[in-house]
Amino acid sequence: MTDADCIELAELDKKCFSVPWSKQSFLEETKNPLAIYLLAKDNGKILGYCGFWRVSGEAQVTNIAVLPEYRRKGIAKALAEEMLKICTDDEQIVLEVRKSNSAAISLYEQLGFIEAGVRKHFYHDPEEDGITMLRRKI
Ligand SMILES: CC(C)(COP(=O)(O)OP(=O)(O)OC[C@H]1O[C@@H](n2cnc3c(N)ncnc32)[C@H](O)[C@@H]1OP(=O)(O)O)[C@@H](O)C(=O)NCCC(=O)NCCS
């Protein structure tokens, strides 16, 4: 992810989330040594992305999103599989997902994530519980 990608990513986020990240939030991530962002591009256009932080032997997914008109083509799955390849064998991967987000939950289950707990009122706009999911490689 380069500085130039951040404007496009902020626009993509507006189409994907009720509380999107700003260009500034993405720019800060380009300077974060713990962050890895994988972008799916077609002829230079960003179709989706997956971001995660690697902290103390654990990977924390910050976001994964695909433009609405490019969904159900395997893009999120390909991005997440690439993330799994980057993480080491003993690295646990954790994420939060809105309880009602059945598309994302189904994606994560397909990749071997399991539900590990519920965080009450974790999300706002609209308020909703978050499901914590994790995947251990070994
Ligand atoms: C969740 C999201 C990233 C999936 O992206 P995608 O590129 O369409 O997903 P894929 O095509 O790779 O689908 C992989 C699997 O996810 C599941 N899935 C994806 N979309 C689904 C849907 N609308 N309904 C049910 N399952 C779905 C399926 O298991 C699918 O496998 P299948 O196509 O073999 O059935 C996308 O819907 C999105 O950007 N949503 C808004 C942002 C978001 O909620 N991100 C998650 C934050 S935790």
pLDDT digits (tens, 9 = 90+) for 29-87: 999 999 999 999 999 999 999 999 999 999 999 999 999 999 999 999 999 999 999 99
* Pocket lining for ligand 1, CB < 6 angstroms: 16-17, 64-66, 71-77, 97, 101-104, 106-107, 110
In CATH terms, is domain 5-135 a member of 3.30.56.10?
A: no
For residue 2, pLDDT beyond 80:
yes
| Residue 108 among the catalytic residues | yes
% of the chain residues with pLDDT over 70: 99
- Which strands, in side-by-side order, build the sheet including 92-98? 35-42, 45-55, 58-66, 92-98, 128-135, 114-123
Calculate how far, in angstroms, residue 64's C-alpha sits from the geometric centre of ligand 1.
10
Task: Provide DSSP, 114-126.
Answer: EEEEEEEEEETTT
Q: Which two tokens stand for residue 38?
A: 């994988």
pLDDT band, very low/low/confident/very high, at 8 (cuts 50, 70, 90) = very high
- pLDDT at residue 136, rounded to an integer: 84
| Residue 49 among the catalytic residues | no
d(CA 87, CA 78): 15
The pTM (predicted TM-score) of the whole model is 0.96
Q: What are all long-range contacts of 78-84, with beta carbons under 8 Å and residues at least 24 apart? A: 78/40, 79/38, 79/40, 79/48, 79/49, 79/50, 80/50, 80/107, 80/108, 80/111, 81/111, 82/38, 82/50, 83/36, 83/38, 83/50, 83/52, 83/59, 84/111, 84/135, 84/137
Angstrom CA distances, 24 to 7, 15, 73, stand at 9, 17, 29
Residue nearest to atom 10 of ligand 1 (CA): 74
Amino acid at 99: K
Calculate how far, in angstroms, residue 101's C-alpha sits from the geometric centre of ligand 1.
9
